[in-house]
Amino acid sequence: MPTFKLRRAGFLDLPAAARTCSLAFDDDVLFGRLIHPYRRSYPGDVDKYWYRRFVVDFWDWSHVFLVTTGPDAADKTKEVVTGFAHWSRIAPGWRENYRAGWGLSGLDPRRLLQPLCRLLMSFLAFVSPNRAASKEDELIIERSYNYLDHIWTGDRSESWYLECLAVHPDYQRQGQGRALVGWGLQQALKEGIACSVIAADGKERFYQACGFDVGPVGRSGEGEGNPLREVPGGLVFFHEKRGVVLPDRELGSWTYGHGVFDWDNWEKQAEARRHKMSLIDGFSTAPGTH
Ligand SMILES: CC(C)(COP(=O)(O)OP(=O)(O)OC[C@H]1O[C@@H](n2cnc3c(N)ncnc32)[C@H](O)[C@@H]1OP(=O)(O)O)[C@@H](O)C(=O)NCCC(=O)NCCS
């Protein structure tokens, strides 16, 4: 029986969500070591990184924030946030999200909230900078955004995408991560669209176990000039839209990089899948099979 609850996060949950991320990603190669080299000197400042991102995206109606909670050890009537997930609905444009019920109409005045919030956060970054962050790498993720545009196209152009997932270190391995991932997989299934994630190094098997059964189909550091090129991990996994079967991506320069993922084993499995597909194709085109 799970001892935690899962619910949509409210605006007031965002500070606790940010804290959870700071703790969970403390030793992560990207969010911890690369982006926040001074986190030991300014531990509280890492929260600013997460909080300021969440606050801006909170006002985008195609983003969903979830928390898992449990009773506070000191006062059982209170709850504490133990896990957090940030999902967004990727689509070619805002109209697809709007039609699917995840957006505001073009004239809705609430559309102003996000740009206003972004402006406010830029001001805060100026007056109260994140001292734990590296000046060169604080925005490294933003600088690498466009390198992966080719992945979310065709049958993958609409997708629930897991932007961020973190479970407080004291509450890991209790099924909370799986539950937070399950929301997006279920939602994608309901809407008949794909579901996707970029896995941190070493988290590939976790996502595969949760249901991301296709991939890697890309790497966050791929492409000439991508600033994430030397950062380990960042493999892209999918659960495809219903009825869609796409061929494995051929090995190539996109697979270059560091990390623990077992490419040899993946290539063997991809070869076996290709062989099976060719047998099916051969059977369905053989004379007398129609
Ligand atoms: C990754 C993370 C969210 C997993 O959360 P969790 O609550 O510990 O995971 P769960 O208990 O739901 O585990 C679900 C399954 O995945 C397995 N699993 C969990 N972490 C794993 C890991 N690092 N590697 C392989 N398998 C893992 C569990 O054993 C479990 O399998 P089972 O159901 O067969 O027992 C958590 O470890 C975390 O916050 N890590 C730091 C931040 C991070 O890396 N986030 C992901 C960024 S892409």
Q: Map out the domains of the chain as residue ranges.
A: 5-259, 261-290
Please tell me the residue having the least CA distance from ligand 1 atom 26.
Answer: 206
User: Once rounded to an integer, what is the mean pLDDT over residues 54-75?
Assistant: 95
Stronger pLDDT, 271 or 23, i.e. the higher one: 23
What is the position in ligand 1's atom list of the atom closest to the CA of 179?
Answer: 12
Q: Give the span between the Cα atoms of 150 and 142, in whole angstroms.
A: 16
Distance 284 CA to ligand 1 centre (A): 41
Most confident of 23-32, 261-270, 277-286: 23-32
- Give the Å distances, CA to CA, from 54 to 8, 68, 72, 185, 275: 14, 16, 24, 21, 45
> What is the pLDDT at residue 275?
86
Residue 289, pLDDT above cutoff 80: no
User: Once rounded to an integer, what is the mean pLDDT over residues 171-191?
Assistant: 98
What percent of the chain lies above the pLDDT cut of 90? Answer: 87
193's CB contacts (< 8 A; 6+ apart) are 158, 159, 160, 241
> What is the pLDDT at residue 3?
86
What is the position in ligand 1's atom list of the atom closest to the CA of 207?
Answer: 16
With tokens 């539950």, the residue in question is: 179
Q: Give the span between the Cα atoms of 152 and 194, in whole angstroms.
A: 9
Q: Give the span between the Cα atoms of 82 and 79, in whole angstroms.
A: 9
With tokens 């962050």, the residue in question is: 133
Residue 287, pLDDT above cutoff 90: no
Residue type, 171: Y
Distance 177 CA to ligand 1 centre (A): 6
User: Once rounded to an integer, what is the mean pLDDT over residues 74-92?
Assistant: 94
| Orientation of helix 14-24 relative to helix 45-58, angle to 10° | 130
The preferred substitution site among 6, 178, 180, 220 for testing ligand 1, maximizing ligand atoms within 8 Å of CB, is 178
What percent of the chain lies above the pLDDT cut of 70? Answer: 97
Distance 178 CA to ligand 1 centre (A): 7
> What is the pLDDT at residue 244?
95
What is the position in ligand 1's atom list of the atom closest to the CA of 167?
Answer: 39
CATH of 5-259, one of 3.40.50.720, 3.40.630.30, 3.10.20.740, 1.25.40.10: 3.40.630.30
pTM for the complete prediction? 0.94
Burial class of residue 136, CB neighbours in 10 A (0-12, 13-18, 19+): exposed
> What is the pLDDT at residue 39?
97
Distance 259 CA to ligand 1 centre (A): 17
pLDDT in tens, 108-139: 999 999 999 999 999 999 999 999 999 999 99
pLDDT in tens, 219-255: 999 999 999 999 999 999 999 999 999 999 988 999 9
Residue ranges lining ligand 1, Cβ < 6 Å: 24-25, 28, 165-167, 172-178, 199-200, 202-203, 205-206, 209
Residue 282, pLDDT above cutoff 90: no
- Give the Å distances, CA to CA, from 88 to 15, 261, 267: 19, 26, 30
pLDDT in tens, 147-163: 999 999 999 999 999 99
159 touches 193 (CB < 8 A): yes
